[in-house]
Structure 1
Amino acid sequence: MFFEKYPSAVRAALLASALVAGPASADDQSGCGEEIPCNVDNGEYYIHLPENLDDSSPLGAIFYLHGHRGKAVNAIRNKGFQRMADDLGVAFVAVQGVNGTWSFPTAPRNLRDEPVFFDTVLSDLENRFGIDRDRTMLSGFSSGGFMTWYIACEDSDRFSGYAPIAGAFWEPLPDTCPAENPYLFHVHGTSDTVVPLAGRWLGGGKWKQGDVFESFDVWRRQNGLVEEQSQKLSDGNLECERWAPEEGLFELCLHTGGHSVEAKWIKRAWNELGTIKGWDRKS
């Protein structure tokens, strides 16, 4: 049965939703998970729940935004992402963009109010699966990375932390970010030609990806950190530097590869965030 794959606390929440909703909508309330999408207003998401979930611990979630014209179902099928979620004991949530795209402020098309949509997804996950909204991290690759930066800028409290990969702001860059400082862990390849560190023009010169270093400067200027020396550190194939204002954290990690994403980078960001927040750290 569908319910049997979930721990008792989650099964109870699903059963309660089904009883309240009634027989006609019970499938809509509970019949999603893995490759079956969860439908909400203006979109859908996929969820992988970790194996051997401890009912007594809060259930956190890592959110992942696919690249341009990508499909969330492919991310949910990714064994590396599944293992990451199982190892960390968190849910892995792959969100679907409209027509495979994200409507960030400087995007070529505005097909959905993304902040409102993400609030809808968060509320649905809390109600349907018991996700702890105080233990969430938004990650995204390429175009999903662009979207992650803008969500962090617009309202950093929406998620506990952010882990964009190979994607930052677009031109024109925002002058400031109205939100409180986020905990942001960015990874980028120095050989990336799809989204170079310096950005590139698209659409015959209509749009331009922003420079990653200049994107960080938006927050550095806002916090008086332009003249401050960064903290340097190495972690595996990543060479990182970070800036630590009174609240929040900005970290840029570079690798020598191209346009790619690895689950271990997202896993590292979650563990770093968990250390800062005082969550249980898992290997």
Structure 2
Amino acid sequence: MPYHIQELSATESVAVFRALASESRARIIELLAERDMNINELSTALGLAQPSITKHIQILEEAGLVESDYLAGPQGTQKRCRRVHDRLLIEMAGRPYRPDCVSEIEVPVGMYTQIEAVPTCGLANRERFIGHLDNPVSFFLPERATAELIWSAGGFVEYVFTNSLPLEASVVGVDLAMEICSEAPGYNNDYPSDITVWLNGFEIGTWSSPGDFGGTRGRLNPNWWHDNLNQFGLLKVWQVNNHGTSIDGMIISPVKIDDLGIRPWQTIRVRIGVKPESPNQGGFTLFGKGFGNYEQDLVLRLHYV
């Protein structure tokens, strides 16, 4: 499922804080992050009576944190619960302005238009490695369009998103979400890399990845993917609006949406890479739908009026 972020003002978050002011309810949210569960499964996992679990679920539903469906089961109807949000952002100064209109565009990680790959590098789909490892020529094989994982010790990769909004639309914000980390031989959880993003040629901000993560298997990785390789990244969201550029809600750059020249029926160029002068030269790894922990490719959301 796509990664879902909910933004709340301080006043809107009161019910959420009340719902989470319970260790049992917080644990339910963690369990539902792994998979949907019914009341009996939650009762067994937490060692609580089913009536107690039912009451906790009701409170979480009222706060908008959990949704439930009644489905036919082997022993009658069962109530199956799922978590609604993956991340909550609380704006202490009040909710930032967000228009109601949002257009989302998703591009597979293998559908890049330009790439400068530096060994160690490679790409893979759900079935196999593509081409030869550590050979940049492999990135130009036709099969690269099926790639759901790419990695490079340096350089950059660039994508083109098509903006097909109505001609009268005015873009007032853009979000770019991706699962990403550094690139080390094998994996190295302490391997920093300064990863920069450009939109339409404008440098919008740099995030310092702490490492190339392994040791725990990525939730979506195919069975053939070796345990001694990197396993997952972190879900990072670059956001540009009228106030500047932020990563996960924290302002990092003065670049504003009007600087980017985003217009309807024009392409939007997204470049991800490591600048040669950056202190931490740890490369980058991009995870698509079939690898890592988040079932999504590169996602661009356009907020418009």
More strand by share: 2
Report the TM-score when normalising by structure 2.
0.24
TM-score (norm 1): 0.25
Task: Indicate the structure whose relative CO is greater, using CA pairs within 8 Å and at least 6 residues apart.
Answer: 2
Task: Name the one with the larger helix percent.
Answer: 1
